[in-house]
Structure 1
Amino acid sequence: MSIRENLEKLNNSIEAAALKAGRTSSEIKLMAVSKTKPLEQIREAYDAGQRLFGENRVAEAQEKFASLPEDVDLHLIGHLQRNKVKTGLSVFDCIQSLDSRELAEKLVQNYKNQIHEMKDLPIRVLLQLKTAEEGSKTGFSSEEEIIETAGWLREQQGVRIEGLMTIAPFTDDESVVREAFARCRILQEKLMSLYRDQDFSVLSMGMSSDFEWAVLEGSTLLRVGSALFGGRF
Structure 2
Amino acid sequence: MVAILQFPGTNCERDMHYAYSNILGAESVIVWHQEKALPASTSLVVIPGGFSYGDYLRSGAIARFAPIMQAVMAYAKNGGLVLGICNGFQILTESGLLPGALKRNQGLCFISKLQKLEVVSTDNRFLSSYQTGAVISLPIAHADGSYYADTDTLQSMKENNQILLQYVDNPNGSLECIAGVCNQEKNVFGLMPHPERFVEPLLGGTDGLAMLRSLL
- The TM-score normalised by the length of structure 2 is 0.35
User: Which structure shows the bigger proportion of residues in helix conformation?
Assistant: 1
The structure with more radius of gyration: 1
TM-score (norm: length of structure 1): 0.33
Structure with greater proportional strand content: 2
